[in-house]
Structure 1
């Protein structure tokens, strides 16, 4: 099958959507499909304007332009996308969308104009904008288009269904489960060893991996940790924050102002292998974001055997069950309480980490490839039905 992926952002940018689209495309190529990615993100050497790179068997079309702040857009993107699709004529166009995805939305419009089967996957939460988008979809007719709609989790899919008023499937993010599997001697093993002690046996080691931007809520995380520390004996917890971003200075300042320099370590951006090694030394993963459509970092931590503390209303709840894989909370006060609870109740922490080490979530790449394939078949069926109705 000839598959075209359209995404505003792509490697070498780092982030959930970038890594997921790249991995999905590479695995489809390895399975024998002819896969192209069209993106507005420049290449590592500044490649743009239609340059095609071959990366892991995937043809990556760099259709962006050199703009201030490295914005992933191009005033000529519609023309460039149309030319690329016309020249290659894919069997299906898989669009990867967020709330603000001008390149992806232009690509979907161009693909529909060329009468190509289109599947759109939303990698975001639409909380707060469902009403406005619903009106926009009705006024522009997008709610009547023959498109296979999906999202990366049930929670995210509910928002998309609220916009378009139709069935929205789930194409989850995927993970190499073997690569993130627990290793002997990791932090979870120590949690089991400490299960009989209430608050003793050394500090519980927490980790949070995120882009340090306001949406990910790193500053409220630090404040929640400070609230927990105030209720605990000195030295009861340690937190590593992994990631970089525009809020780094604010996070560092809050750590200092709250007197947490001996508790919180800001480790900056780490490579995947370094993140994996950090999870070997940790017990609990903290996810403070309120608008998390899936939570790939939390999934990596859960597969590595860590307990996960996250918001109940996010996509993380699709693979974290309360008191089984971690603790689900409703607000920042609940986040602080969960931190204290896991430190004081080592038996609960040990039970959770033992379960996560023994039971894998069904989110390996075989499931994701099958879900994507089903959406491609649905997109083609919708297109045929539309043609027959004309």
Structure 2
């Protein structure tokens, strides 16, 4: 089978890039012909080891944000669609914008099956809701709301209607997709490169307990909840320390808010912002920390959760993170309400004070990832959806 995997950018690191590249490598090992299509490519800034041996076609340009960004984005999508091999059997767009490329190929070149790995619902309506969740005092002018709804309608009619199969990483986003698009959607669980995150057996948290959070800086990460939890823990006599790893340049306003909070609470000596880290540094951080915090709100999945579990680090996860759907409270994770520093602090205190539970979650987390979260299983499921889409065209 000749598969075109379409990814908006391969010049950055992220869950979408890991997912698409691991799928490409697995499909290639199974004898499929795979080509990746992207707007921007920089192996050194992405995952050079995952790109090795893969055929990549890059447009070399991507429109900048601005008033006309939707129109220039559509133009770029048409150009990339024109670069796709006409003998392609399956289109597999990943995440945002890539589904537009697939739609243009089907309209202008050949009508073939398209399986969209949606990840997050890309509508502007959902973006508004997430913005209001992060910043409740946000006021969006009526004319912008109207424009967003018109653009969402256009996207549904022109680009999304032609997707044969829509895939989400969690049940919440699956439901949202069906509501937004009026089409059936399916859930597929992502994989983890657990061999890259070696397991270290742990029987208890160290003193002081070292907490870790990781992710590109965006408001839905809720780093502030982890910082406030540290303050609460220290007030209870548990001298917790926190490291936050992630690129602060993605949302400088939010990063500044986090830095200000650390300063206001007088936590500069115990909360460290590590900035953007390499894969090797991230592996070391998992090894050197005791508990991983993931208070992310309305996050579609949460790859970092399973990387931490693979490393043997017990995890505290928000109920509104997609990862929570597959985890069991007090077994593979401690699951807490969203936006609740007190609940996070209580969960950390339990793990610190109950070595038996700590050791059980450390060992069970790795076993869960090995048995349920492989890229091989993800590829098995994706091939089934390829077959489902192909049957619609028979």
What TM-score do the two structures reach when normalised by structure 2?
A: 0.80
Structure 1 residues without counterparts, runs of 5 or longer = 47-53, 192-200, 385-390
- Residue pair 2:208, 2:238 contacting (<8 A) in 1 also: no
1:300-379 matches, within 5 Å, as 300-333=307-340, 334-359=343-368, 360-379=370-389
- Residue pair 2:210, 2:241 contacting (<8 A) in 1 also: yes
Is the aligned partner of 1:159 residue 2:176? yes
1:60-209 matches, within 5 Å, as 60-65=56-61, 68=64, 74=73, 76-85=75-84, 87-97=85-95, 101=96, 103-113=97-107, 114-124=110-120, 129=126, 136=153, 140=157, 145=162, 147-184=164-201, 188-191=202-205, 202-209=207-214
Q: CA distance change for structure 1 residues 353 and 82 in 2, over 3 Å: closer, same or farther?
A: closer
Displacement of 1:227 after TM fit? 3.0
1:257-336 matches, within 5 Å, as 257-333=264-340, 334-336=343-345
Between the two proteins, the alignment pairs up a number of residues equal to 357
Is the aligned partner of 1:20 residue 2:19? yes
Q: CA distance change for structure 1 residues 281 and 117 in 2, over 3 Å: closer, same or farther?
A: same
- Residue pair 1:65, 1:74 contacting (<8 A) in 2 also: no
Q: Give the Cα–Cα distance (whole angstroms) in 1 for the partners of residues 24 and 305 of structure 2.
A: 22
Displacement of 1:376 after TM fit? 0.9
SS in 1 for 2:392: helix
Displacement of 1:301 after TM fit? 0.5
Cα displacement string for residues 160-200 of structure 1 (whole angstroms, at most 9, x for unaligned residues): 2222344322232211223324135xxx2444xxxxxxxxx
Structure 2 residues without counterparts, runs of 5 or longer = 130-148
- The RMSD of aligned alpha carbons is 3.2
- Residue pair 1:122, 1:156 contacting (<8 A) in 2 also: no
Q: CA distance change for structure 1 residues 134 and 366 in 2, over 3 Å: closer, same or farther?
A: farther
Q: Out of 332-341 and 359-368, give the one that drifted further.
A: 332-341
Is the aligned partner of 1:212 residue 2:217? yes
Corresponding residue for 1:198? none
Q: Give the Cα–Cα distance (whole angstroms) in 2 for the partners of residues 168 and 214 of structure 1.
A: 27
Cα displacement string for residues 228-274 of structure 1 (whole angstroms, at most 9, x for unaligned residues): 332x2152x12111112234343233212211123212222211122
Higher percent of residues as helix:
2
What TM-score do the two structures reach when normalised by structure 1?
A: 0.81
- Residue pair 1:303, 1:361 contacting (<8 A) in 2 also: no
- Residue pair 1:40, 1:74 contacting (<8 A) in 2 also: no
Q: Give the Cα–Cα distance (whole angstroms) in 1 for the partners of residues 155 and 74 of structure 2.
A: 26
Cα displacement string for residues 287-330 of structure 1 (whole angstroms, at most 9, x for unaligned residues): 12112111011110112111111111221113321111121111
Corresponding residue for 2:246? 243
Q: Out of 69-78 and 149-158, give the one that drifted further.
A: 69-78
- Residue pair 2:262, 2:271 contacting (<8 A) in 1 also: yes
Q: 2:231 aligns with which of 223, 226, 229?
A: 226
